[in-house]
């Protein structure tokens, strides 16, 4: 099967649709026109740069370069997590640190597991596999971690009276904040569970679609998609659980006191 490469003109035509949406959003006074255009430009520039870097990486296949790349991706994901938390931990560094640690431990481990054991590609750092896999995992784990950390800090703040009421009755911090902790984990896990449940019926996943458009046989694309879904669910799950646990721990001190002074004032 021939792969039809896209020309600059093809993409310009697609960009015209974004332009139309921008005009419509201006007309409806959504106040999002600027964000829409900035996001489109960022998307284009970032992907082009990523394309160039991948081209270089694929040519070199140097493990050191790939590991550096992986960490750059991780640290940017950490930045994205911090910016999505409405009431971050006081000293933004903490939110960043917890988010990055959770994503590192989950995404990196799951990616390595996939490369070394499941796909069993040699060498394991073959960039055609390592970078896209890590990217998919980090991207999804990031969303889950941000969502769950945001939910945790927000609900703990809102339910201060309940949590302290339970502490007053002699509960340990983990029991006193149990509802908020499980709620936050659940919120972080819901999107991936829902997307696994509806994938293939309601939506064709982007990765699979891309593979098929690029000429792969459907069954190959499907098996890869199933693998990716499982990896994403596991990576997101571990990452969310870890992020929520360490963040919750940080909101209480050794005397089991709720330390809301460790949350910044926030914007809600």
If binding is defined by CB under 8 A, does position 121 make contact with other proteins? no
Closest contact distance (angstroms) between CB of 91 and other proteins is 17
Select from 60-68, 73-81, 235-243, 254-262 the region that touches other proteins (CB under 8 A): 254-262
**Residues near 123 by beta carbon (within 8 Å), at least 6 away in sequence:** 61, 63
If binding is defined by CB under 8 A, does position 186 make contact with other proteins? no
Q: Figure out which of the listed residues 3, 31, 170, 202 binds other proteins, where binding follows CB under 8 A.
A: 170
Which of residues 84 and 256 has its CB atom nearest to other proteins in the complex?
Answer: 256
Q: Are 126 and 111 in contact (CB under 8 A)?
A: no
If binding is defined by CB under 8 A, does position 262 make contact with other proteins? no
Q: Figure out which of the listed residues 51, 165, 206, 218 binds other proteins, where binding follows CB under 8 A.
A: 165
Closest contact distance (angstroms) between CB of 8 and other proteins is 59
If binding is defined by CB under 8 A, does position 90 make contact with other proteins? no
Which of residues 99 and 183 has its CB atom nearest to other proteins in the complex?
Answer: 183
CA 20 to CA 56: how far, in whole Å? 35
Closest contact distance (angstroms) between CB of 186 and other proteins is 16
If binding is defined by CB under 8 A, does position 105 make contact with other proteins? no
Closest contact distance (angstroms) between CB of 179 and other proteins is 7
What are the backbone angles phi and psi of residue 203, rounded to the nearest 5°?
-135, 145
Closest contact distance (angstroms) between CB of 190 and other proteins is 22
Which of residues 106 and 155 has its CB atom nearest to other proteins in the complex?
Answer: 155
Q: Are 141 and 235 in contact (CB under 8 A)?
A: yes
If binding is defined by CB under 8 A, does position 162 make contact with other proteins? yes
If binding is defined by CB under 8 A, does position 253 make contact with other proteins? yes
Contacting residues toward other proteins, per CB under 8 A? 159, 161-162, 164-172, 179, 253, 255-258
């Amino acid at each position: 099967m021939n792969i039809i490469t896209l020309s600059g003109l093809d993409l310009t035509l697609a960009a015209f649709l974004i332009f139309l949406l921008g005009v419509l959003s201006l007309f409806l006074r959504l106040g999002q026109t600027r964000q829409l255009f900035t996001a489109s430009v960022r998307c284009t520039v970032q992907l082009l740069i990523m394309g160039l870097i991948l081209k270089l990486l694929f040519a070199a296949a140097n493990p050191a370069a790939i590991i550096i790349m992986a960490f750059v991706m991780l640290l940017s994901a950490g930045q994205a997590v911090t910016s999505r938390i409405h009431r971050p931990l006081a000293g933004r560094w903490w939110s960043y640190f917890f988010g990055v640690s959770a994503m590192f431990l989950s995404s990196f481990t799951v990616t390595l597991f996939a490369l070394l054991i499941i796909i069993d590609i040699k060498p394991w750092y073959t960039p055609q596999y390592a970078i896209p896999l890590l990217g998919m995992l980090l991207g999804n784990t990031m969303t889950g971690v941000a969502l769950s950390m945001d939910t945790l800090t927000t609900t703990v703040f809102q339910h201060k009276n309940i949590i302290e009421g339970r502490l007053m009755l002699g509960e340990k911090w983990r029991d006193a904040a149990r509802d908020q902790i499980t709620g936050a984990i659940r919120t972080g896990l819901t999107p991936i569970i829902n997307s696994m449940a509806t994938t293939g019926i309601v939506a064709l996943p982007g990765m699979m679609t891309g593979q098929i458009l690029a000429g792969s046989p459907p069954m190959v694309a499907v098996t890869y998609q199933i693998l990716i879904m499982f990896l994403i669910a596991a990576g997101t799950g571990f990452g969310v659980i870890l992020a929520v646990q360490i963040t919750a721990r940080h909101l209480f001190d050794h005397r089991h006191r709720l330390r809301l002074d460790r949350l910044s004032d926030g914007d809600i």
